[in-house]
Amino acid sequence: MRTKKLWIVFVAFAVLILSCTKDEEPCEAIIENSGIIVASVNISSCDEPFYQGSFVIRTNAEYNELLSTNTNCDRPFIDFSSYTLLGRYAYTANTGSYFRNVEIDTAHSRYVYTITVENCGSCNCLSENMNWVTVPKLPDEWDVKFVVE
């Protein structure tokens, strides 16, 4: 009888071990740029996030105006004679990766900035990114189409 009880305990323990699911592998947040993007820009430590949407900053005056109400933001130098600053808010409810691409659309006289957000994990934590990038100077009279997928 004692052998039978030991056998039942052993089988129950084995089933318990084999039936447990392993913790989810941690996922890595990736930020990747492609197309005509020159560089990512880190405008961080801001008091207020830039939830308003999309930004096309062509001059130092526009840059200063953007950051004037938010004096705690980092202000990396940008040479606006050569580059335009683009930013578009995107988020995910989990750990997120952001794949950013800017292409030239000469037929419509614009740049197309596409941000593909990929969720991974199940942390139920907000992952936010303003996706600030510099691109070659946007020609006068051109605009930018923003796409978040």
pLDDT tens string 2-25: 555 444 544 444 443 444 344 555
Domain count, the chain: 1
Is 10 within the bounds of a domain? no
pLDDT tens string 43-75: 887 877 677 789 999 999 999 998 887 778 888
Is 17 within the bounds of a domain? no
Please classify residue 78 by burial: count the beta carbons closer than 10 Å to its beta carbon, then call 0-12 exposed, 13-18 middle and 19+ buried. Answer: buried
CB 70 within 8 A of CB 45: no
Pairing between β-strand 39-40 and β-strand 133-136 as defined by DSSP bridges: antiparallel
Is 1 within the bounds of a domain? no
Is 65 within the bounds of a domain? yes
pLDDT tens string 73-124: 888 999 999 999 999 999 887 888 999 999 999 999 999 999 999 988 777 7
Is 76 within the bounds of a domain? yes
Is 6 within the bounds of a domain? no
Q: How far apart are CA 13 and CA 107, in angstroms?
A: 67
CB 27 within 8 A of CB 120: yes
